[in-house]
């Protein structure tokens, strides 16, 4: 006769075996990497590179699915409501996963409760670029010119509440500058008007600005990150020139729906870490102007909370709301 201990041990063994079998089979169907933006941007490019490598590393099929709209909220809501089985993942970034909760009063997901962080993927440096109507040759002279002519200078963004809007507000708040924000429907139209002189300047990702800078159509005035950018070695940082402590960047990572089994999170974390540390992947990311940053799920969760708090303060000070 089996004792209760024997039956308990047998039950635990069966459960562990089932979990092990499920993990061994993962992924047994296509895994979707949901990108909150249209094809071609930094998030999309990173996702496609990651998917290509994961197909071989994990022996499954990883596909990129673009779900743009509402500053990333459409994609984030979709993944938050997806089955917590590891087959629908969000290519997270600073907008939907840190900023939007302070801008949209009735967000349909909770940044800290709706997702299970897997790992950060990268940091994308942000640079301040200027168009032809800006006469200043360096960031110090530019700040002096803006202070001397309140309201004259303008800065573009990809839209009200977009990350580059908030970086511009943080810059203006820190230095007491009076600049007018000009929102656009995306980075492309914004940079076009900066290049033509319709708008004075813009905070843009190094990925988006690099080709235009290399082509002489935009000038880099300063780097918003704490450290200089290797691809722009002559560009000083805002921190070292006009505003000590200034540090702003875009970033990317992977999160799953809350409740995803820990063993699936661990398997994804290990595989993604292996991919992102491949020399050819790091070379490709560097070529895009991005810096590979991998982290544990716990570290990524702490980073998201810190970013959320930082941008919430900027939103409150500038009285920004979704329109």
Annotate 84-133 with DSSP letters as a single string.
SSSSEEEEEEHIIIIIHHHH-TT-SS-TTTSEEEEEEEEEEEEEEEE-TT
Protein fold of 125-241: D-Maltodextrin-Binding Protein; domain 2 (3.40.190)
Q: What does the DSSP 8-state code read for residue 218?
A: S
Helix (H/G/I), strand (E/B), else coil: 292:
strand
Locus of tokens 């909370």: 305
Asked if 264 contacts 86 with a C-beta cutoff of 8 angstroms, the reply is yes
Domain ranges of the chain: 29-123+249-318, 125-241
**Residues of the chain predicted below pLDDT 50:** 1-22
pLDDT for position 288: 78
Which of 181, 321, 303, 296 lies closest to 247 in space, CA to CA?
303
Q: What pLDDT digit, counting tens, does each position of 200-230 carry?
A: 999 998 877 878 888 899 999 999 999 998 8
Q: What pLDDT digit, counting tens, does each position of 245-301 carry?
A: 999 999 999 999 999 999 999 999 999 999 999 999 999 998 877 889 999 999 999
pLDDT for position 17: 45
Q: The whole model's pTM is what?
A: 0.84
pLDDT for position 172: 97
CATH architecture classification, 29-123+249-318: 3-Layer(aba) Sandwich (3.40)
Domains 29-123+249-318 and 125-241 alike in fold:
yes
Long-range CB pairs of 190-193, under 8 A, 24+ apart, other chains included: 190/156, 190/157, 190/158, 190/164, 191/129, 191/156, 191/218, 193/131, 193/156
In this structure, what token pair is assigned to residue 49? Answer: 């590179």
């Amino acid at each position: 006769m089996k004792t209760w201990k024997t039956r308990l041990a047998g039950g635990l063994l069966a459960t562990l075996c089932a979990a092990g079998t499920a993990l061994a089979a993962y992924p047994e169907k296509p895994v979707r990497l949901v990108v909150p933006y249209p094809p071609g941007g930094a998030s999309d490019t990173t996702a496609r590179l990651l998917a290509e490598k994961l197909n071989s590393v994990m022996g499954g099929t990883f596909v990129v699915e673009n779900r743009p709209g509402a500053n990333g909220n459409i994609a984030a809501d979709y993944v938050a409501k997806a089955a917590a089985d590891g087959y629908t993942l969000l290519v997270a970034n600073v907008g939907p996963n840190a900023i939007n909760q302070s801008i949209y009063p009735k967000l349909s997901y909770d940044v800290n409760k709706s997702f299970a962080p897997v790992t950060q993927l990268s940091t994308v440096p942000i640079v301040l670029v200027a168009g032809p109507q800006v006469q200043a040759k360096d960031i110090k002279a530019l700040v002096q010119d803006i202070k001397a002519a309140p309201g004259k200078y303008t800065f573009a963004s990809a839209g009200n509440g977009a990350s580059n809007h908030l970086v511009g507000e943080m810059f203006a708040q820190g230095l007491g500058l009076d600049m007018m924000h000009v929102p656009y429907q995306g980075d492309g139209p914004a940079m076009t008007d900066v290049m033509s002189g319709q708008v004075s300047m813009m905070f843009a990702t190094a990925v988006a600005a690099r080709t235009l800078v290399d082509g002489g159509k935009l000038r880099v005035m300063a780097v918003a990150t704490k450290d200089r950018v290797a691809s722009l070695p002559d560009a000083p940082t805002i921190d070292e020139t006009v505003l000590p402590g200034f540090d702003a960047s875009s970033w990317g990572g992977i999160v799953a729906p809350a409740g995803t089994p820990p063993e699936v999170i661990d398997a994804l974390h290990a595989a993604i870490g292996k991919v992102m540390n491949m020399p050819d992947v790091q070379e490709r990311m560097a070529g895009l102007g991005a810096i590979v940053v991998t982290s544990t799920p716990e570290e990524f969760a702490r980073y998201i909370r810190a970013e959320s708090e930082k941008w919430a303060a900027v939103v409150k000070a500038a009285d920004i709301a979704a329109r």
